[in-house]
Amino acid sequence: MSRAGRLLGFAGLCALAVVVALAALRPAPVHRDTIYVFGTLVEIEIRGAPKTDARAAATRVGRLLREVHDDWHAWRPGGALSRLNAAIAEGRTTMVDPRLAAVLRRGRQLSRASGGLFDPAIGGLVALWGFHADTPPTGAPPAPDRIAAVLAKRPRMTDLSIEGLAVTSTNPAVQLDLGGFAKGAALDLAAAELRAMGIADAVLNAGGDVHVLGRHAGRRGGRTGGRPWRVAIRDPFMWGAVAAVSLRPGEGLYTSGNYERYFDHDGERFAHIIDPRTGRPVQEIVSVSVLDTDGARADAAATALSVADAGDWARVAAAMAVEAVLIITDQGQIWATEAMRDRLDPQIAATVRVFGQPHGPAFRPGPGPDAEGAQQAAAAGPNGARPDVALPTPAIQTPRGG
């Protein structure tokens, strides 16, 4: 080749390198979609995938979530679960679809592990308190004798018999309400669907319950250039976050909060998480967040730990096989397992007390060496707690202690 030809070839190669470098710097394509299910706006964000693939995947996930929402709805008539509830009340056996059978099996197993603190069979109590409606109830709490009457019938998830697809209950007082883990179970299915469609980097945000795939791919070709998805744990007492967490690929962060659905009566707050032992709403715990790769387990554990007494937190977390837990009490105290504390963004401004090893001795509340392990962190830096997903609706309650 002539000298001029070689020079031309070299210049061509340089130009190609520049084009490739510029392409790598171009922002990754981002596809966003929202659908309204489970009483909340679910946001799907897919990064770094070709537009057509991303759109097709988001459409499939939207359809899946809508189906699950209709099938698992606890009070709207016409869905598979409401048919099953009607059959249980009449002592009949019902055939359900494989997806519902699987989620019921999972719910029964998680309920057992929680020692019955998480129990999707207490739909009768949830309804009695008025939470089987699209808007929170108004007026007075139910009369104590009506609560006692439901409790006396002892509806339990373990009353449920699931033989293949045939479901029945030995106890007609069982009324299934999957609300305590439906979002987690649904986002598990949605994440699996995205993966099956070749999506590597995405976030699913169901009103603050978040599940991620891969990373926040910031640049085209993303996975190497991306950073982890950052998610906030909201402050239940004021608008803002108490902490932020960087999620690893495949992880989810699920939060139960008694600020989500509640009513006030005579200066007392009654929220939608019910203690199956007393039949009454939980009051001392305002928020529980669980970080885990299994959404159904994390969601169920967040509900169970909202109900558990402080002395049982570590035991219940261990029994449900979740390690990273953060609990906010009505006094505004923040407690976390060591595994969770290690995952919190170091720039958080809140004080976090460690409540013990999930596999170690049970934590006893009150002052002591555990409480001394408080982490007083520096003020949030410029990138500190800025989350990749929007915080859900503003929190509107004040700590009881002040």
Q: Is 199 in the site for ligand AMP (CB under 6 A)?
A: no
Q: Which is nearer to ligand AMP, 94 or 258 (CB)?
A: 258
Q: Which is nearer to ligand AMP, 116 or 358 (CB)?
A: 116
Residue 181 Cβ vs Mg ion, minimum distance, rounded to whole Å: 5
Q: Is 187 in the site for Mg ion (CB under 5 A)?
A: no
Give me the DSSP letters along 162-200.
EETTEEEES-TT-B--GGGTHHHHHHHHHHHHHHHTT--
Residue in the block written with tokens 């060591």? 338
Give residues 331-360 in contact with ligand AMP (rule: CB under 6 A).
Answer: none
Of residues 107, 120, 180, 222, which one binds Mg ion by CB under 5 A? 180
Q: Is 188 in the site for ligand AMP (CB under 6 A)?
A: no
C-alpha–C-alpha distance, residues 387 and 246, integer Å: 9
C-alpha–C-alpha distance, residues 353 and 364, integer Å: 12
Of residues 85, 94, 256, 287, which one binds ligand AMP by CB under 6 A? 256
Q: Is 302 in the site for Mg ion (CB under 5 A)?
A: yes
Helix, coil or strand: residue 344 = strand
Q: Rounded to the nearest 5 degrees, what angle is found at the Cα of 199, between the Cα atoms of 196 and 201?
A: 135
Stretch that binds ligand AMP, among 148-156, 211-219, 269-277, 380-388 (CB under 6 A): 269-277
Q: What separation, in Å, do the N-terminal and C-terminal C-alpha atoms of the chain show?
A: 84
Of residues 79, 124, 130, 180, which one binds ligand AMP by CB under 6 A? 180
Q: Is 119 in the site for ligand AMP (CB under 6 A)?
A: yes
Tell me, residue by residue from 284 to 313, as one string, x for binding to ligand AMP by CB under 6 A and - for no binding: ---------------x--xx--xx------
- What is the enclosing helix (H) or strand (E) of 313? helix 313-319
Phi-psi region of 81 (alpha: psi -120 to 50; beta: other; left: phi over 0): alpha
C-alpha–C-alpha distance, residues 176 and 171, integer Å: 12
Could you tell which of Mg ion, ligand AMP, none binds residue 333, using a CB distance below 5 to 8 A set by kind?
none
Q: Is 173 in the site for ligand AMP (CB under 6 A)?
A: no
Of residues 82, 175, 287, 303, which one binds Mg ion by CB under 5 A? 303
User: Helix 51-71 crosses helix 98-113 at what angle (to 10 degrees)?
Assistant: 70
Q: Is 256 in the site for Mg ion (CB under 5 A)?
A: yes
Residue type at 238?
M
Q: Report CA torsion sign: 6, 12, 16, 17.
A: positive
Q: Is 233 in the site for ligand AMP (CB under 6 A)?
A: no
| Residue ranges binding Mg ion (CB under 5 A) | 180, 256, 299, 302-303
Binding-site ranges for ligand AMP (CB under 6 A)? 118-120, 122, 126, 131, 177, 179-180, 256, 261, 272-274, 276, 299, 302-303, 306-307
